[in-house]
Amino acid sequence: MTLPFVKMHAHGDDFIIIDRRGQEDPITAQVARRLGDRHTGIGFNKLAVILDGVDAAARIKFWNPNGTPLQTCGSATRGVADRLMHEAGTDSIVLRTDRGLLTCVRAAGQQVAVDMGAPSLEWSSVPLAVAMQTLVLPIKGDPAACSMGNPHCTFFVDDLAAIDVAAAGPALETHALFPARTNVHFVQVLDRAHIRLRIWERGGGVPLGSGSCCCGAVVNGIRRGLLDDTVQVQCDGGTVTVQWDGQGGVVLTGSVQPIMQGTAYV
């Protein structure tokens, strides 16, 4: 079988989009792993499959390169929105994900913004293995936790350059406190409107960026009283903006750019 695809990135967070509207969905865990291999496949941080929508313009399913599914991806959602808004000649669109209905709009400078929905802050929603408050976890470094449809664990550090993310990430991802594993963030607060972020991504390793991780990191920083409601997040691959008023949805804004298009053999 051949599958046409488009590859894009958002602040270095690369993803491929496969449009299967009006067709069956052939993506399985095995296919996702094959396509995600950076040596023998296409290579990506996330795979987004566009399917027919009933209550939205389209439905999106997401996969990690290790073949595990996930509920949400802020970067790939914005990439799909960018393409479908161009296709429809509109500046707004609603997409269905396992996270729910997400509203995306064209922002200034040809950027795309997505309302990722309200964060989940209760221990059972993250999820954590035992009942506790999520603002300070009983793990060395006193991280905070939340969910943006996927779990996030945020450490606030004085010197980000001193952290070996690749060495620290795997054990934290699989810590017994996180029964569904977790994304791990290391944050250096530059000022109340700017942070530097490095990530160990659940099922993906160390990416150049991650939309949902940017959201989770800012949410936890605001909850700690360290940040204002609009924050510039500097990742290894570029910068995005995250806005959260402490009550409603978390809005992620940034550029998305095409890299290539082609045909995959599966």
**Tens-place pLDDT, residues 52-97:** 999 999 999 999 999 999 989 999 999 999 999 999 999 999 999 9
What are 63's two structure tokens?
Answer: 């996969």
Largest Cα–Cα distance in the chain? 52
Would you write out the chain's pLDDT as a tens digit for each of its 266 residues? 899 999 999 999 999 999 999 999 999 999 999 999 999 999 999 999 999 999 999 999 999 999 999 989 999 999 999 999 999 999 999 999 998 999 999 999 889 999 999 999 999 999 999 999 999 999 999 999 999 999 999 999 999 999 999 999 999 999 999 999 999 999 999 999 999 999 999 988 899 999 999 999 999 999 999 999 999 999 999 999 999 999 999 999 999 999 999 999 98
Tell which CATH classification among 3.40.50.11810, 3.10.310.10, 2.60.120.650, 3.30.70.2860 matches the domain 144-249.
3.10.310.10
Cβ count within 10 A of residue 54: 6
168: alpha, beta or left? (left if phi > 0; alpha if psi -120 to 50): alpha
Predicted confidence at residue 203, as pLDDT, reads 83
What are 109's two structure tokens?
Answer: 């400078």
- As a whole number of angstroms, the distance between CA 265 and CA 151 comes to 33
Rg of the chain's alpha carbons, rounded to an integer?
A: 17
Fill in the DSSP letter of residue 250. P
CATH homologous superfamily of 2-106+256-265: Diaminopimelate Epimerase; Chain A, domain 1 (3.10.310.10)
| Contact predicate 231/199, CB 8 Å | no
pTM: 0.95
Query: Is the link from the previous residue into 258 a cis peptide, with omega within 30 of 0?
Result: no
The number of CA neighbours under 13 Å toward the Cβ of 197 is 36
Cβ count within 10 A of residue 51: 18
Say yes or no: do domains 2-106+256-265 and 144-249 share a fold: yes
Spell 212-239 as b/e; 16+ CB within 10 A means b: bbbbbbbbbbbbbebbeeebbbbbbbbb
- For the chain, the domains span 2-106+256-265, 144-249
- As a whole number of angstroms, the distance between CA 181 and CA 237 comes to 24
| Contact predicate 145/107, CB 8 Å | no
For helices 74-88 and 211-223, what crossing angle results, to 10°? 120
Backbone angles phi, psi at 37, to 5 degrees: -70, 125
